[in-house]
Amino acid sequence: MPQMAPISWLSLFLLFSIIFLLFNMMNYFIYMPSMPKINQSDKIVTKSMNWKW
């Protein structure tokens, strides 16, 4: 059974690395998160907590 030359392993590694990077960059830049619309009535209500020592 013939073995692969090291340059062939290197070229395969580079090919799969480039494909992996392109796939991840495509997924990152294609994704568009939906922006929630903020209404005036949906304000965040904060309660002040007074600590009594």
Over residues 7-48, the pLDDT tens digits come to 888 899 999 999 999 999 999 999 888 877 766 555 667 777
| Cα 29 to Cα 22: distance, rounded to the nearest angstrom | 11
* pLDDT (0 to 100) of residue 20: 98
Distance between the two ends of the chain, CA-based, in angstroms? Answer: 80
Residues 26 and 29: their CA atoms lie apart, in Å, by: 5
Q: At residue 34, what are phi and psi to the nearest 5 degrees?
A: -80, 130
Q: What is the dihedral of CA 34, 38, 42, 44, to 10 degrees?
A: 90
The pTM of the full predicted model, rounded to 2 decimals, is 0.53
Domain ranges of the chain: 1-30
